[in-house]
Structure 1
C-alpha cells in the first residue's frame, strides 16, 4: 500500500511539474539533497540576501524568463538559500547547518551568487553576480556541457 501511495504521489508531482513550467521549482537544500539520491541531477543554489537589490532583479527578470525556467527545471534541482538566515537548521553530510553557515561553508562572499553542485553534492563552481537571461543560460549550458549529462 505504501508503494502505491508513493507512486501516486510521484506521478502527481511529475504531472504538476510538467504542466506548471511557469516558475522555477525552488527547493530547500535538504530537499534537493534527498531528491538527487533517487534521481541524480546537478544542483543550482541561488545564494541571496533580503537586502540585495541585484538578487531581487534576478528574481523579477531572469528567473521569470520562460527559457530560464524551462532550462533550470529540466536540468537542475534549484535551491534558494538566504545567506543571512541563522534560524532554519538542516543536516548535511553529518553536520548541522543554517543557511548562513552553509553559505559560509560554500565560501560565498557576494550576492547574488550561484553555487553549482554535481549530483554527488560537491561544489563544482560559482557564478557570482547579476546576469540577464541569455548570458545566464549560456553560462549554465557551458557548465552542463562540461560537467553534466546531456
Structure 2
C-alpha cells in the first residue's frame, strides 16, 4: 500500500513554519534543511532566494510532513487556499486539545474542538502560516485511520 505525506509550499516561510511545527510535535528534520543554493543551476538566483528552503521534512508519528519555499524569480506563485488540510489523529482527547491549542495559536479557529454528531472529538483552524488543519480524536477504537 502506498503511503501519503502532506507536502506544503511557502513563500519564504518554510523554515519558520517547520521550526514552529517541530516545537509542537517534537523530533528532528530528516536530512536537515536543504537550501535552494544547494541545487545545481541556482547560482544566478537573488541572494534572498538562495536561502529559501528547497526541501524540509519532519517525521510525525509514522508519517512525514514535508515542504519547500517557492522561487518567485523562477515564476513560482503561491496561492494559499482551503483546498488542503492536514488531518491529525491524536491518541487522546488531551493530546487533541494540546495540539489544537498549540497549532492554532496566532491563527484563525474555524471550528473549536467539540464532540461531533459522528462521534468524534473534532476541531479545525488555519494556523499563523495559512495552513489548514483538522484535529480529530476518534474515541471509538480503530476509527482513526
TM over 0.5: no
Q: Report the TM range for the smaller structure's normalisation.
A: under 0.3
Instruction: Decide which structure has greater strand share.
Output: 2
Compare CA radii of gyration and give the structure with the larger one: 2
Q: TM-score, normalised by structure 2?
A: 0.24
Whose helix proportion is higher, 1 or 2?
1
Normalising to structure 1: TM-score of the pair? Answer: 0.23
